Chains A and B, each alone.
Chain A
Amino acid sequence: MLSRRIIACLDVRDGRVVKGINFGGLREAGDPAALARRYDVEGIDELVILDVTATLEGRRALADTIRAVAREIFIPLTVGGGIRTEADAAAAIDHGADKVSLNSAALASPALITTLARRYGSQAVIVAIDARRDGGRFAVYSRSGTTAAARDAVEWAREAAGRGAGEILLTSIDRDGTRAGFDCDLTASVSDAVPIPVIASGGAGEFPHFADVFTTGRADAALAASIFHFREKAVSDLKRYLAARGVPVRMV
């Protein structure tokens, strides 16, 4: 049976891992390659490097970070943040990324999804959606959660899948950094609407949050950052917890 994936996100700025609360107030967590190595040993299923700088100097540092992490680990590696063009995506992949994650660029130019899917295959293209509750619906925001995109999250996820995205990385802006649990309503709404895997993000704080998002949230994967970085929770303990509750996971 297909395992539910646990994905660690490394928010990287100028070559160092940082993690914000509600997209603000960054605090530092360390060397990306060292963290990647630790996660690999603990049994993380995948890694995401999210570039939170997007300055020119930051970009050069990002290339070094991708190469350093890709040298260390042999599990899927996604790079997101600041992928604006086909050339940005090609550079990330040439440095060792297996997948790229598109967010604002896909909203601005949905054809980019198809261009990259044709060039590298759908498995290499993730569309990241940042959504916030808005009445009974979920509204999409771009530019790190600052700009309303005038799109509905479920409808945008469907379009992204139709255009060739291989996975959806779905972040709840309301929950991001709060440790109050994933938004299971948001996750289930999108997961039921698309034929491709949905990665839930935003709000991970305790082990039961993961069990919830894999059951009621119908997520295929769950992503977290800070609860792993600061050694508050070990990936191996999380997997044992999930396995004991009947959630299929990969044990190492």
Chain B
Amino acid sequence: MIALIDYGAGNLVSVRKALAAAGAAVFTPATPGDLATASGIVVPGVGHFGATRALDGSWRAALGERLAQATPLLGICLGLQWLFEASDEAPGLPGLGLLPGRCFLLGTMPRPDAPRVKVPHVGWNALARRAPSRLLEGIADGAQAYFTHSYAAPITGDCVAVTDHGGPFASVVERGLVFGVQWHPEKSGEVGLALLRNFAGLAARTS
């Protein structure tokens, strides 16, 4: 069973539906203790980084325990940003800190040749593969996915796919069993379902 954490950051109807379409059994944990039975964990979320404040110390501790037991974790959109140390959107509020780096506002990373872009970044954009990835297995390099966000994660050693909007950012991250996508697999057609199937497969293998 994949645990889909509902911490009040956006509506989960679409994510739940897409995980089911990808063949995963899904439940929503009521308390951090409920994560004990999860074979995989999804942290979704749209909106302000401050919303992750709801994922308090007990959720962090429970997630840490599951990761130590080799349970795969997938962050989607705001969930990906939360995997990092912090975000300029809510300075002073720590992220989960599993991945080094600080999220930034799109268009603020200096790059002289970048054309002026609209923020939020809304729509379909390409995923340029940067490193081998289990999460992206079977998904073509350059495939397009649906984004809607204003802040993004930096490109670090954990970045496996890059997308460009007023400068490059990490659109897929992967480090061990910690995964993240800045885009919405539940809204990205066949590309998104393929990614969720890959994650469900990783969860099934480790349970």
Docked complex: B75-110 residues within 8 A CB-CB of A:
none
Residues of B within 8 A of A145 (CB): none
With A94-B13, A96-B14 as known contacts, state yes or no: A220 contacts B122, CB within 8 Å: yes
Assess whether A120 is in contact with B123, with CB atoms less than 8 Å apart. Answer: no
A216 at the interface (CB under 8 A from B): no
- The docked-state distance in angstroms from the alpha carbon of A224 to that of B122 is 19
* Residue contact B123 to A5, C-beta cutoff 8 Å: yes
Given known A74-B18, A75-B146, A252-B189, contact A221–B10 (CB-CB < 8 A): no
Please indicate the chain B residues that have their CB under 8 angstroms from the CB of A122 in the complex: 120
How many residue pairs link A and B with beta carbons under 8 A? The number is 88
Q: How distant is the Cα of A74 from the Cα of B18 in the complex, in angstroms?
A: 7
- The answer to whether A121 and B186 have CB atoms under 8 Å apart is no
Q: How far, in whole Å, are A119 and B10 apart by their CA atoms in the complex?
A: 8
Q: A74-B189, A74-B192, A166-B148 are in contact. Are A221 and B123 (CB under 8 A)?
A: yes
Most buried by B among A5, A40, A96, A121: A121
Min distance, Cβ A26 to any Cβ of chain B, angstroms: 30
Mark A30-58 against chain B: 1 for CB-CB distance below 8 A, else 0. Answer: 00000000001000010000000000000
CA distance A73 to B189 in the complex (A): 7
Chain A nearest CB, measured from B54 CB (Å): 15
CA distance A47 to B107 in the complex (A): 28
Question: Within the complex, which residue of B21, B118, B123 is in contact with A195, where a contact is CB–CB below 8 Å?
Answer: B118
* Known A74-B192, A96-B14; contact A123-B118, beta-carbon cutoff 8 A: no
Binary contact track B155-174/A, C-beta < 8 Å → 1, others 0? 00000000011000000000
Whether B187 contacts A98 by the Cβ 8 Å rule is yes
Nearest neighbor of A251 in chain B, beta-carbon distance: B144
Give the total of A residues in contact with B, Cβ under 8 Å. 31
The CA of A4 and the CA of B118, in the complex, are separated in Å by: 13
Q: How far is the CA of A70 from the CA of B21 in the complex (A)?
A: 12
Most buried by B among A74, A96, A121, A252: A74
Whether, in the assembled complex, B53 has its beta carbon less than 8 Å from a beta carbon of chain A, the answer is: no
* Chain A neighbourhood of B14, CB < 8 A: 70, 74, 96, 98
Q: A74-B189, A98-B14 are known contacts. Are A196 and B124 too (CB-CB below 8 A)?
A: no
The listed residue with most B CB atoms (<10 A of its CB), out of A3, A5, A167, A250, is A250
Indicate if A102 sits at the interface (CB-CB under 8 A).
no
Give the contacting residue for A45; candidates B18, B47, B123; CB below 8 A: B123
Please give the distance in Å from B146's CB to the nearest CB on chain A: 6
A1 interface residue per 8 A CB criterion: yes
> What is the distance, in angstroms, from A30's C-beta to the closest C-beta of chain B?
22
Minimum C-beta distance from B17 to chain A (A): 7
Query: Are B124 and A250 closer than 8 Å at their CB atoms?
Result: yes
Is A213 at the interface (CB under 8 A from chain B)?
no
Which chain A positions have C-beta within 8 A of B165? 2
Besides A5-B124, A75-B187, A196-B122, 6 new A-B residue pairs in contact (Cβ under 8 A), listed by A number = A1-B125, A3-B125, A70-B14, A71-B17, A76-B187, A96-B14
Q: Which B residues are closer than 8 A to A by beta carbons?
A: 9-11, 13-14, 17-18, 21, 46-47, 117-126, 144, 146, 148-149, 164-165, 186-190, 192-193
